A and B are shown apart, each in its own frame.
Chain A
Amino acid sequence: MTDLTRLTAVEVARVVRDGEASAVDVAQAHLDRIAAVDDRVHAFLHVDTEGALAAARAVDEQRAAGEPLGPLAGVPLALKDVFTTRGVPTTCGSKILEGWRPPYDATVTRRLKDAGIVILGKTNMDEFAMGSSTENSAYGPTRNPWDLDRIPGGSGGGSSASLAAFMAPLAIGTDTGGSIRQPAAVTGTVGAKPTYGGVSRYGLVALASSLDQGGPCARTVLDAALLHEVIAGHDPLDSTSIDTPVPAVADAARRADVAGMRVGVVREFAGDGYQSGVQQRFTEAVDLLASLGADVVEVSCPHFDYALAAYYLILPSECSSNLARFDAMRFGLRVGDDGTRSAEEVMSLTRDDGFGDEVKRRIILGTYALSSGYYDAYYGQAQKVRTLITDDFTAAFERCDVLVSPTTPTTAFRIGERVDDPLAMYLADLCTIPSNLSGGAAMSVPCGLAPEDGLPVGLQVMAPALADDRMYRVAAAFEAAFAERSGAILEGVPAL
């Protein structure tokens, strides 16, 4: 019999629809796989066995009743633990939320449930999505299925690792500076950050409100596009959500041709700090696109050099305010409430105990950057840089339909290698941050294994805001041509 965990989401949905396997069988196969391998990978913080089986049963009953099934009905999914799930623990990888069961579903959660998607559980992440390795989780790191001594990327390492280890065919991530794309790149999977405002943030526990964006993770571009269409679309509960039709990303992924498209290579994303194998696979990827009929041009985006600096002012500023609500008063951890201490002392002790080092580092940075007398020099200046970066994109997109770059400068590094060097850690997001600052769409698709370490390399495809379909079209065309030439990358992942 087919191993249900090796199927793509499209295949799983078809199998369920055609009655070759029940949704419960599919869910159980994935729960069994999690039970078998996740003690080594640690992709999940919470597995919701009962909830998953109940959701699967509902799909089977729907089918039995002859009701129409959605395109992804019965497909299991791993949900990043930063989205609220009614009655199901939501920790954001932080001790401060240990045991919190939200009283409400995020809009993304609700849309997944409405589509008949089976949520297997909540995936591990860097605490409050701050990190590029999942090592900042209060519940221990996730390991990369390609090499268990290496990081799976971050912050959404749990989601990507669950895909690469065949524990789920679909996952949801969030991308504030690369937290969907960089984990996708280093695990050989696909991850997309939609245009800012494309997917509702209601129920997404905020890191940096103006940068956060939920998005789909999958093993194929088409699977990601189908999931994108489930979660995207206007939400009256999020006033930054875009009120225009969702781009036809699944059609674009099925079309999958690049003939005549203008593909821009960003000159600034190369040189020092880029691993040679990453450079090599990226160059080959560009050549492959050219061979498919794309017009390749080089573009310069000079202000991208300042993106990281601006990002590390805007993000901490917003997060210092967003994380103020974790105060022990209404939910989550409470430390030192022995009847003698003031509310202020209890808040302080709770935050001291409940937040990890990286979270404290960014809260302190942001508090400083917003302080009276420093605001203009830091937050204000960073906003100006943000505008210049957006202008760079606008100019580049006048000459190109999409931009491409390596997703991340290196392959997966070793666990522990960068934990004591925050700046080195931050460099993992060098190529992904600009599109968060501009609000455009961007995704990562596998483009081979680096010759020197045999680890996955990601190709980033960036598109203008609201043109998400363009990046899916290019990524799908690349994916198909690459598979034809070299086979699917994930066929090489160790069996565990």
Chain B
Amino acid sequence: MTVTVEDALTRWQPVVGMETHVELGTRSKMFCGCATEFGAEPNQQTCPVCLGLPGSLPVANEAAIRYTILIGLALNCSIASWCRFARKNYFYPDMPKNYQISQYDEPLCVDGWLDVQLGGEVHRIGIERVHLEEDTGKSLHVGGATGRIHGADFSLVDYNRAGIPLVEIVTRPDITSAALARAYVTELRDLVRAVGASDVKMEEGSLRCDVNVSLRPIDASALGTRAEVKNVNSLRSVERAVRHEIGRQATRLEAGERIVQETRHFHEDTGTTTSGRSKEEAQDYRYFPEPDLVPIAPDPAWVEELRASLPELPAARRQRLTAELGLSDADQLAMNNAGVLDLVLAAVEAGAPAADARNWWLGDLLARSNAADVDPAELGITPAQVARVCALVADGTLTATMAKDVFAGILETGDDPDTVVATKGLRQVSDVGALGTAVDDAIAALPDVAQKIRDGKVAAVGALVGAVMKSTRGQANAGVVKELVLQRLGVAPE
């Protein structure tokens, strides 16, 4: 029997810990001077060091160390006064030296936390460690049906990515739901961006999550056996992967089976996970201190300088801006949970009134995002476009109904709002002369309604306005129409 997630959650408490890798935004690689730009021709950004040629030696990138400390400080971590790199030994063709320079028992940052807002509550997620390491190359398996190594005709390796600095952020198992897992990664992404350590382009694979999921019976304290889902690379996938694991593990457990401690792969297309290599046959990484590098001993004064240089972090910025804009806490929460808060703030920065920006992003645009099953930020409407549409409504060019059509037009054509307005002929008619005939026609067509209004039932004016709107295909200025109707019928406006 397959147990659904909702059903499982009535009996099982999910326990989730995350390991998140973020490529740092340094210009050069972690241990050599090669460029880090994305999208270069394969193997063009390489040298003896990042190819692991015999005799080559690593030299640590100071900017990467600085970024890692900034992230650690933003995550409320202690910064080690002395720590070392370590070698993680295992054989794989895309790893040039067949060991990865990483950190093991002496990470650069330890014992911090990140506060994550979800559903009206703040969840404090413990951060176990933040450490620095180098990325591997990329294998491309050619031929075969799946693009995976099994069944491939041959494999190619691109070492451009080898040696790009990666920071790994490891949480404690404090995450209690799929939604919180997603909210954590969102918050972490925004924080890393805010401190300037990376621009975090998830579509380029610059943020990758390994998600550890286990279940324990509700009210039990002992942790269950966990499975580690590797390489979950989007916010939505994080949530889907956790949900899938909750269902899968509950199904197994309730059938009396054991959860195998193993690595699992997440499949974007199906939203499911499948077994990778099991931890039982996993590698012994034979960590030992990297003898080619001297220890890192950040000067405490320098660390304090970095702490003082930290910019306003995303949570504080949200608090401040929403307060400044006169938006309520409830609004802030709603926008944050919907993933539109930054979009609203950006629209405001681009000139939109706060209330209008809020209404669009939480209303029509959020509905469109949900319908398209994408994050609002990826919908295809920019905050600047929202601001422009708001301006067109404010100056009377567009009605609210027309504004919706403009957004639809932007999504259809990719054009800017003014172009959509022009090509669709979406322009509100306010000219009294031009509307007069339509008003007269409406009064003539609905004599009963006209009479009611003359008799003092002014509220009935809506029916006549509606008729005019209909006959002008929504382009009439409803306010002007109403005034005209009342004027023609000899009734004073309320």
Please tell me if the beta carbons of A372 and B286 are within 8 angstroms of each other in the complex: yes
Chain B residues within 8 Å of A103, by CB: 48, 53
Residues of B within 8 A of A (CB): 48, 51-60, 87, 89, 91, 93, 96-99, 154-155, 157, 284, 286-288, 291-294
Chain A residues within 8 Å of B60, by CB: 239
**Between A and B, how many residue pairs show CB distances below 8 Å?**
103
* Nearest 10 interchain pairs by C-beta: A324-B98, A370-B286, A209-B291, A210-B291, A203-B55, A205-B54, A84-B55, A205-B55, A325-B52, A325-B97
Instruction: Write the chain B residue with the least CB distance to A367.
Output: B286
- Please list 20 pairs of residues, one from A and one from B, whose beta carbons are closer than 8 Å in the complex, sorted by A's number: A84-B55, A100-B54, A102-B54, A102-B55, A104-B53, A104-B56, A202-B56, A203-B56, A205-B55, A210-B291, A236-B59, A320-B89, A324-B99, A326-B54, A329-B93, A330-B96, A331-B54, A343-B155, A370-B89, A370-B288
A104 in contact with B48 given A327-B91, A343-B93, A370-B89 (CB within 8 Å): yes
Please tell me if the beta carbons of A237 and B286 are within 8 angstroms of each other in the complex: no
Distance to closest chain A CB from B108 (angstroms): 16
* Interface SS majority for chain A: loop
B55 partner, pick from A202, A327, A339, beta carbons under 8 A: A202
Can you list, as one digit per residue, whether each of A180-213 has a CB less than 8 Å from chain B (1) or not (0)? 0000000000000000000001111110111000
B57 partner, pick from A237, A318, A371, beta carbons under 8 A: A237
Please tell me if the beta carbons of A92 and B54 are within 8 angstroms of each other in the complex: yes
Q: Is A344 interfacial (CB 8 A cutoff)?
A: yes
Please tell me if the beta carbons of A324 and B55 are within 8 angstroms of each other in the complex: no
Can you list, as one digit per residue, whether each of A320-340 has a CB less than 8 Å from chain B (1) or not (0)? 110011110111000000010
Taking CB atoms and an 8 Å cut-off, the chain A residues in 51-86 that contact chain B are 83-84
Chain A residues within 8 Å of B59, by CB: 236-239
Q: A90-B55, A331-B53 are in contact. List 17 more A-B contacts (CB 8 A).
A: A100-B54, A102-B54, A104-B53, A204-B55, A205-B54, A206-B54, A206-B55, A210-B291, A236-B59, A321-B99, A325-B52, A325-B54, A325-B97, A330-B52, A347-B91, A370-B288, A372-B284
Instruction: Write the chain B residue with the least CB distance to A326.
Output: B54
Chain A residues within 8 Å of B55, by CB: 83-84, 90, 102, 104, 106, 202-206
Instruction: Write the chain A residue with the least CB distance to B32.
Output: A237
Please tell me if the beta carbons of B91 and A239 are within 8 angstroms of each other in the complex: no
* Interface SS majority for chain B: loop
Which residue, B59, B288, B293, has most C-beta atoms of chain A within 10 A? B288
Q: Is A317 interfacial (CB 8 A cutoff)?
A: yes
Chain B residues within 8 Å of A300, by CB: none
Chain B residues within 8 Å of A426, by CB: none
Distance to closest chain B CB from A183 (angstroms): 21
Please tell me if the beta carbons of A90 and B292 are within 8 angstroms of each other in the complex: no
A330 in contact with B53 given A370-B288, A371-B286 (CB within 8 Å): yes
Please tell me if the beta carbons of A239 and B293 are within 8 angstroms of each other in the complex: yes
Chain B residues within 8 Å of A237, by CB: 57, 59
Please tell me if the beta carbons of A327 and B93 are within 8 angstroms of each other in the complex: yes
Q: Is A375 interfacial (CB 8 A cutoff)?
A: yes
Chain A residues within 8 Å of B87, by CB: 321
Distance to closest chain B CB from A301 (angstroms): 24
Q: Is A311 interfacial (CB 8 A cutoff)?
A: no
B96 partner, pick from A102, A325, A343, beta carbons under 8 A: A325
Chain A residues within 8 Å of B91, by CB: 324, 327, 344, 347
Please give the number of chain A residues whose Cβ is less than 8 angstroms from any Cβ of chain B in the complex: 45
A367 to B53, CA, bound (A): 21
Q: Is A231 interfacial (CB 8 A cutoff)?
A: no
Distance to closest chain A CB from B373 (angstroms): 38
Q: Is A379 interfacial (CB 8 A cutoff)?
A: yes
Distance to closest chain B CB from A111 (angstroms): 15
A57 to B418, CA, bound (A): 74
Chain A residues within 8 Å of B96, by CB: 325, 330
A321 to B91, CA, bound (A): 10
Can you list, as one digit per residue, whether each of A254-271 has a CB less than 8 Å from chain B (1) or not (0)? 000000000000000000
Please tell me if the beta carbons of A239 and B57 are within 8 angstroms of each other in the complex: yes
Chain B residues within 8 Å of A208, by CB: 291
A331 to B91, CA, bound (A): 16
Which residue, B57, B97, B154, B287, has most C-beta atoms of chain A within 10 A? B57
A325 to B55, CA, bound (A): 11
A371 to B286, CA, bound (A): 5
Q: Is A404 interfacial (CB 8 A cutoff)?
A: no
Distance to closest chain A CB from B494 (angstroms): 82
Q: Is A240 interfacial (CB 8 A cutoff)?
A: yes
A206 to B96, CA, bound (A): 15
Q: Is A459 interfacial (CB 8 A cutoff)?
A: no
Q: Is A388 interfacial (CB 8 A cutoff)?
A: no
A327 in contact with B286 given A204-B55, A206-B55, A321-B89 (CB within 8 Å): no
Q: Is A97 interfacial (CB 8 A cutoff)?
A: yes
A320 to B285, CA, bound (A): 12
Please tell me if the beta carbons of B294 and A239 are within 8 angstroms of each other in the complex: yes
Please tell me if the beta carbons of B54 and A84 are within 8 angstroms of each other in the complex: yes
A201 to B87, CA, bound (A): 18
A321 in contact with B57 given A103-B48, A104-B48, A239-B294 (CB within 8 Å): no
Please tell me if the beta carbons of B291 and A90 are within 8 angstroms of each other in the complex: no
Instruction: Write the chain A residue with the least CB distance to B155.
Output: A343
A344 to B293, CA, bound (A): 29
Distance to closest chain B CB from A84 (angstroms): 5
A324 to B89, CA, bound (A): 8
Chain A residues within 8 Å of B51, by CB: 330
Distance to closest chain B CB from A357 (angstroms): 20
Instruction: Write the chain A residue with the least CB distance to B285.
Output: A372
Please tell me if the beta carbons of B53 and A102 are within 8 angstroms of each other in the complex: yes
A318 partner, pick from B48, B98, B287, B291, beta carbons under 8 A: B291
Taking CB atoms and an 8 Å cut-off, the chain A residues in 209-264 that contact chain B are 209-210, 236-240
Instruction: Write the chain A residue with the least CB distance to B46.
Output: A330
Please tell me if the beta carbons of A201 and B286 are within 8 angstroms of each other in the complex: no
A329 in contact with B157 given A321-B286, A324-B97 (CB within 8 Å): yes
A370 to B51, CA, bound (A): 25
Instruction: Write the chain A residue with the least CB distance to B58.
Output: A239
B292 partner, pick from A92, A100, A240, A327, beta carbons under 8 A: A240
A71 to B93, CA, bound (A): 46
Chain A residues within 8 Å of B157, by CB: 329
Chain B residues within 8 Å of A339, by CB: 154
A106 to B286, CA, bound (A): 29
A372 to B283, CA, bound (A): 10
A239 to B57, CA, bound (A): 8
A159 to B93, CA, bound (A): 35
A423 to B287, CA, bound (A): 28
A102 to B51, CA, bound (A): 12
A238 partner, pick from B48, B57, B97, beta carbons under 8 A: B57
A97 to B53, CA, bound (A): 11
Which residue, B54, B57, B284, has most C-beta atoms of chain A within 10 A? B54
Instruction: Write the chain A residue with the least CB distance to B31.
Output: A239
Instruction: Write the chain A residue with the least CB distance to B59.
Output: A239
A108 to B320, CA, bound (A): 58
Instruction: Write the chain B residue with the least CB distance to A380.
Output: B288
A321 partner, pick from B284, B288, B293, beta carbons under 8 A: B288
Instruction: Write the chain B residue with the least CB distance to A348.
Output: B91
Chain A residues within 8 Å of B292, by CB: 206, 209, 239-240
Chain A residues within 8 Å of B293, by CB: 239-240
A331 to B54, CA, bound (A): 9
A375 in contact with B288 given A324-B91, A330-B51 (CB within 8 Å): yes
Distance to closest chain B CB from A211 (angstroms): 9
Can you list, as one digit per residue, whether each of A94-106 has a CB less than 8 Å from chain B (1) or not (0)? 0001001011101
Chain A residues within 8 Å of B56, by CB: 104, 202-203
Chain A residues within 8 Å of B89, by CB: 320-321, 324, 370
Please tell me if the beta carbons of B98 and A325 are within 8 angstroms of each other in the complex: yes
Chain A residues within 8 Å of B48, by CB: 102-104
A114 to B33, CA, bound (A): 23
Instruction: Write the chain B residue with the least CB distance to A208.
Output: B291
Can you list, as one digit per residue, whether each of A154-175 has a CB less than 8 Å from chain B (1) or not (0)? 0000000000000000000000
Instruction: Write the chain B residue with the least CB distance to A332.
Output: B54
